[in-house]
Structure 1
Amino acid sequence: MFKKFTKEDVHSRSNIKSSVQRGLKTKFVSQFELLEPVIDDIIPKKSQAILIKCEDKIQLYSIDEEVVVFQHFDDLIPTLKVVHKYPQCFPRVQVDRGAIKFVLSGANIMCPGLTSPGAALPEDLPVDTIVAVYAEGKETALAIGKLIMSTDEIKSKNKGIGIELVHYLGDGLWNISTD
């Protein structure tokens, strides 16, 4: 999604009202319940949130010159910087070592990379769940993706694309400055 993202992809920037900011926080917490104790650290009450509208109906929400969350259609998705600060708040999957170079180049994650030795897949995550992607032997998340199949289906089929990547280390969103 952000593979070739640059400043030229930005269409407009605008401050958002505090009521819209409260709605954003509520929706973000409803999507990721574990964020409730830290949501005021991610989006502080007295800070000014900025909405940055981009190509392909992508909306970035920036707080204090840092993009903390983005929206693509209905999904609110945290940036990797937020996942690195609060890793316990997001569902987690782990790929084997062989998948690392593909994930860092922006490729979708295939089911065998999620089911092989060295990989870890939690039980009962439904389709369209936003997950943080970790790698065998690494402590921080490499990417954020959206499940194309449920985790049970990934384990049983073990074929095809399991996770669609939306944001990864070194992509355009990772490197963008909001000033």
Structure 2
Amino acid sequence: MFCKWNPQNLKRNVLKSSLRRKIQKAIVQQYPALESLITTLMPKKKKLEVGKAENHLQFYIIESTILFFRWRQGPFYPTLKLLHQIPSLLPIYYVDGGAVRPIMGGAQIMMKGLTKVPNGLPKESIPAQKVVAIVCIGKKNAFTIGLTEHSTEEIKLINNGPGIKNIHSINDGLWKFEIH
């Protein structure tokens, strides 16, 4: 998704405190596990900026670190760097090592790749349109963040075609992007 993203046109603005609280509330609503951590992630004494790029892409930035991003009014996506700090933030789907290179190149996560791996699907039921982490079997950290196109039950039943949309991977434009 971000492989061809050009960050040079990023326009940044500091958010007023009322909008900051609204953003924090929306993030906690989407990620309840962050309720006790949101003030640590986004302390009042540090300015929260929104960076706006082409295609209605928004980045939420604290001290030159992008924490979340989203398109228009869609879901908030944590960056992989944030996910590596809080690995339990997202439900986890597992793939085998052979899938890593194509996924990091931008390929979608296929249903057959999720179902062929023992315990590749989460034990809990995950609905469609949910932000999830993709981890290679035997590894600790996620290498991709995706958006489910089908629920876990549908993935098991259909077992053909794309199951998770690839949003952000290690070494893509967002991973490599540094704010100065």
TM range (shorter): over 0.9
- The one-character-per-residue Cα deviations of 1:111-141 (angstroms, maximum 9, x if unpaired) are 0111113452123111100001111111111
In structure 1, C-alpha distance between the alignment counterparts of 2:105 and 2:138, rounded to whole Å: 19
Matched residue SS, 1:25? helix
Displacement of 1:56: 1.2
After superposition, the CA RMSD in angstroms is 1.2
Distance in structure 2 (CA, Å) of the matches to 1:114 and 1:105: 18
2:171 is aligned with 1:170:
yes
Deviation at 1:3, TM superposition (A): 1.1
- Name the residue aligned to 1:44: 43
SS in 1 for 2:140: coil
Question: Secondary structure in 1 aligned to 2:60?
Answer: strand
Correspondence list, 1:1-179, <5 A:
1-10=1-10, 12-73=11-72, 74-118=74-118, 120-122=120-122, 123-179=124-180
Q: Contact 1:124–1:152 (CA<8 Å) still a contact in 2?
A: yes
State the secondary structure of the residue aligned to 2:36: helix
Gap runs ≥5 in structure 1: none
CA shift, 1:99, in A, is 0.9
1:13-70, CA deviations, whole angstroms, 9 ceiling, x for partnerless residues?
1111111111111101100111112112221122101111011111001101110000
SS at 1:98's partner residue? Answer: helix
Secondary structure in 1 aligned to 2:128?
coil
Deviates more, 1:118-127 or 1:57-66: 118-127
Runs of 4+, deviation exceeding 4 Å: none
Paired residue type of 1:69: F
Q: For 2:134, what is the secondary structure of its paired residue?
A: strand
Could you state the TM-score of these two structures normalised by the residue count of structure 2?
A: 0.94
Secondary structure of the corresponding residue to residue 43 of structure 2: coil
Could you tell me whether the CA contact under 8 Å between 1:109 and 1:165 is conserved in 2? yes
Q: How far has the Cα of 1:8 moved from its partner?
A: 2.8
Matched positions, count:
178
For structure 2, the residue ranges without an aligned partner over 5 or more in a row are none
Partners of 2:110 and 2:163 within 8 A in 1: yes
Q: After superposing the two structures, state which structure 1 stretch, 86-95 or 147-156, moved more.
A: 86-95
